Amino acid sequence: MNRTKIYFGLVLLFVIISCSTEPIIRETEFTSYQVSGCFHNAGLQKSLASDSCFGYSFNDTLKIEFCVKGNCCPEMNRFTTSYKIKSDTIFVSVADTAAQLCYCICNYKIHIELSNFENNKYLFYCNYDNFKYREFVQKEE
């Protein structure tokens, strides 16, 4: 009789766990890199104004390129990026790992890719060295 109670208890526990309404949390995949070279003519504009240096495509993967300023040397592997997604906003943080090595300033492009999204529309937000990106990105239909 005890084995029957234990068996039914385990079956009931399995049914309760398998019917849980907890949402499945997806892990967003993130990659980023600095595009090589200095872009002297890349236009950086502050705040909410349209930025000629910002571009994106959004299918299964969201691909974004945007500019940041830094001194001219070294030209490669000088920026690190990280991200956080909260609700419908993607926060990207950029850090210059080689600040103040030269006396000249260049614009650099950062390329990021994110995939495995829940929503089809997000606000991309990045605040770097007095330049703010606040751009809506939407999946292409």
3-state secondary structure the chain: CHHHHHHHHHHHHHHHHHCCCCCCCCCCEEEEEECCCCCCCCCCCCCCCCCCCCEEEECCEEEEEEEEEEECCCCCCCEEEEEEEECCEEEEEEEECCCCCCCCEEEEEEEEEEECCCCCEEEEEEEECCEEEEEEEECCC
User: Taking all residues of the chain, what is their mean pLDDT, rounded to a whole number?
Assistant: 78
**Is residue 110 domain-resident?**
yes
Query: Quick one: average pLDDT of 21-45?
Result: 67
Domain limits at 131? 28-138
Domains in the chain, number? 1
Tell me, yes or no, whether 3 lies in a domain.
Answer: no
Q: Is residue 108 part of a domain?
A: yes
**Residue 22 is assigned to a structural domain of this protein:** no
**Residues 98-103, mean pLDDT to the nearest whole number:** 78
Domain assignment present for residue 49? The answer is yes
In a domain, 23, yes or no: no
> What's the pTM?
0.71
The answer to whether residue 13 is domain-embedded is no
Lowest mean pLDDT among 8-22, 28-42, 54-68: 8-22
Better-scored residue on pLDDT, 115 or 19? 115
Per-residue confidence at 41, pLDDT binned at 50, 70, 90?
low
